[in-house]
Amino acid sequence: MLVLLVRDDLGVGGVSREVYVLYAGWYEQLARGAFPYGDTTWQYPPGAAAVFLSPGLLPWLSYFQAFVTLALLADAAVTRALARAGGREAGSAGAWLWTCGLPLLLHIPLARYDVQTTALAVFALLALLGPRTRPRPRLGGALAGLGATVKVWPLLTLLGTARGRTTRAAWTSAAAAAAALLAGLALGFPHTLDFLRQQGDRGVQIESLGGTALHLARLAGLPYHVEYRYGAFEFLGPQVPAVARLSLLLTAAAFGWLLLWRVRARHWTPATPCDAALCAVLLFTVTSRVISPQYLIWLLGLAAVCLTTRRTTQRPVALLLLPAAALSSLGYPLLYEDVIASTPAGCTVLVLRNGLLLTAAWLSCRGLWRATITASHG
């Protein structure tokens, strides 16, 4: 992965350009005490500023070198935590999934800030599970809250907490930690919530599930074309807004299913928090208007936590994520020109990758439902 960062000549453009151009530019703005304002590529919650500023802790390195070093340290911390959590009960299957899964994404994990975000989610889940100690819902909640201010989705790690005192403690800590960080950022930086405007204007990204349908329509001769907007390649053409709205409706339906599961679930196992977290993130991934390759980092991290316990229902899901990760890096950066042009090769890669993610989401939902609802009736 490090060698590929140095070469960085695979496919279209450079993977590491995100760090030494975009992230470094944001660092300079943030160091002057202001969030990027009116920047269509700034689509992240305010807590992400801490990650982009963190390379400043290593002033003897260039920004790029410091960023990669911190990503490697986060990777190492996750690996160690997963190996310790597995212990004698489940071995180190989770650590192996994480260690072997990340290189399938080539050098993308080291040139994006998703490893750092995933680390917060992994630590939050492990605190909630307490595989080697008693569960610590307040610590898990605080970590999830901090993660939510960085990239929202880590808050889903709290979805499967057991009812009662555990849920109250976790969610209260999450709200307090997130509120404290956001208040501090709002006092120190102007335009703290400007990212929301950029999120609302996003369209259908070419690697999403809806984008795959538009690729196939374009391959069949319909007049769709691709344009670089809001930091990604998106589709333009007839019915694209309808596809975007459908994606949002599917996301709302996924949220509704998760609420239904939460209300009806009666049987909690030690694996329920991590199983529910992986299921939720998978559902929001497959229904998203954007499925970037780095989303697989999130899923691999959550699946790795699931494999730290033998009670998990997500083992088949974890195995499906490995070929999905490999296909993601085949789509970007290796065959990205084909994906942009909607060639048969590009369409095939997306159909296979997104088909695996859909299958994984279905298996995840089925396993979670059976373990917590069907089992309780049985």
Question: Exposed (0-12), middle (13-18) or buried (19+): which is 268, by Cβ within 10 Å?
Answer: middle
pTM here is: 0.95
pLDDT digits (tens), the chain, 378 positions: 999 998 888 877 789 999 999 999 999 999 988 888 777 788 888 999 999 999 999 999 999 999 999 999 999 999 999 999 976 555 689 999 999 999 999 999 999 999 999 999 999 999 999 866 788 999 999 999 999 999 999 999 999 998 899 999 999 999 999 999 988 888 877 766 666 565 556 789 999 999 999 999 999 999 899 998 877 899 998 889 999 999 999 999 999 999 999 999 988 898 999 999 999 999 999 999 999 999 999 999 999 999 999 999 999 999 999 999 999 999 999 999 999 999 999 999 999 999 999 999 999 999 999 999 876 554
Separation CA 303–CA 100 (nearest Å):
13
Separation CA 318–CA 278 (nearest Å):
9
Does the N-terminal peptide bond of residue 46 adopt cis geometry, omega within 30 degrees of 0?
no
At residue 378, the pLDDT reads: 47
Q: Which domain holds residue 234?
A: 2-377
How many structural domains compose the chain? 1
- What is the sign of the dihedral through the CA atoms of 155, 161, 166 and 168? positive
In the numeric block, the tokens 């920047």 are attached to 39
Which of 304, 313, 308 is closest to 275 using CA atoms? 313
DSSP labels, 268-302:
--TTHHHHHHHHHHHHHHHTSS---TTHHHHHHHH
Alpha helix ranges (H) inside 91-113: 93-101
At residue 67, the pLDDT reads: 97
Separation CA 144–CA 157 (nearest Å):
7
DSSP labels, 6-46:
HH--SSSS-TTHIIIIIIHHHHHHHHTT----S-TT--S-T
Contact (Cβ atoms closer than 8 angstroms) between residue 331 and residue 346 = yes
At residue 135, the pLDDT reads: 87
